[in-house]
Structure formats: structure tokens, C-alpha cells
Amino acid sequence: MTPGEQGRAFLTMALLGAGLAAVYDLLCGLRRMLRAGRVMTAALDLAFGALCAAGIIAAGLMLQEQITRGYLHAGTLCGAALYAGTAGAAVRWAGRLLIRAERSGNRKKDAPK
């Protein structure tokens, strides 16, 4: 693999990492909204793990890699970290606001009249 191809592979995996981090944030928000117990949390974690495995396998096939290389995993981690430090912070903040609004709306409905 040439250095240019390695760079493309790294950036592809960084995009995958950012996408997986976004999915994880969405699943965390879903857990909070549903007030998921242990079984629901385990099911969502299992689904996320399967999605991660499928994403890495698909990216490896797309990049035509026969073996796993360190820069592929590094790209995935860098993408996830970049997402978490930028857009992820805004997504988590907005999610917390929505959940608080939903819960306060439920309290107002349940309040005695």
C-alpha cells in the first residue's frame, strides 16, 4: 500500500470512527429517554458492538486490506475522539436539554390541579 493509499485508508477509518461515535451518542440518548434497564442496555450495547464489527469489516473490504493494520484502528480512534470533542459535545448537550424538557413536561402533566 502506498503512503497516499494509507492516508486515504486512515481518513476513511476516521470517518467510520466519527460515525460510530455519533451512533453511540444516539443510543445513549435513547437509553435515557426509555429509561432502559439492564436488558435493554445490554441489547443496545450488543447492537452497537455488531455495528462496529460490521463497519470495520466493510471498511476493510472496501480498502481491500487482507490484514488489520495499526493505522486503521488509529484512524477509527482519532475519528471518534474528534467527534467527541467537537460535534459530539453539542449533540450530547442538545440531548440533555431535550430529555430535561420532556421530563419537566411530564411533571407538569402529572401535577395535581
Give percent above pLDDT 70 in the chain: 89
Residue ranges per domain, the chain?
7-108
Residue 17 contacts residue 87 (beta carbons within 8 Å): no
pLDDT 10s digits, 59-83: 878 877 666 677 778 888 888 888 8
Residue 23 contacts residue 48 (beta carbons within 8 Å): yes
3-class DSSP string for 9-77: HHHHHHHHHHHHHHHHHHHHHHHHHHCCCHHHHHHHHHHHHHHHHHHHHHHHHHCCCCCCCHHHHHHHH
Buried b (16+ CB within 10 A) or exposed e, 8-31: ebbebbbebbbbbbbebbebbbee
Say which residue, 93 or 69, is predicted with more confidence: 93
C-alpha R_g of the chain: 18
| Of 40, 13, 98, the residue nearest 106 (C-alpha) | 98
pLDDT 10s digits, 35-66: 888 888 888 888 888 988 888 888 878 877 66
Residue 25 contacts residue 88 (beta carbons within 8 Å): yes
**Looking at the predicted structure, is the pLDDT value of residue 106 above 80?**
no
**Looking at the predicted structure, is the pLDDT value of residue 21 above 80?**
yes
- Structure pTM? 0.71
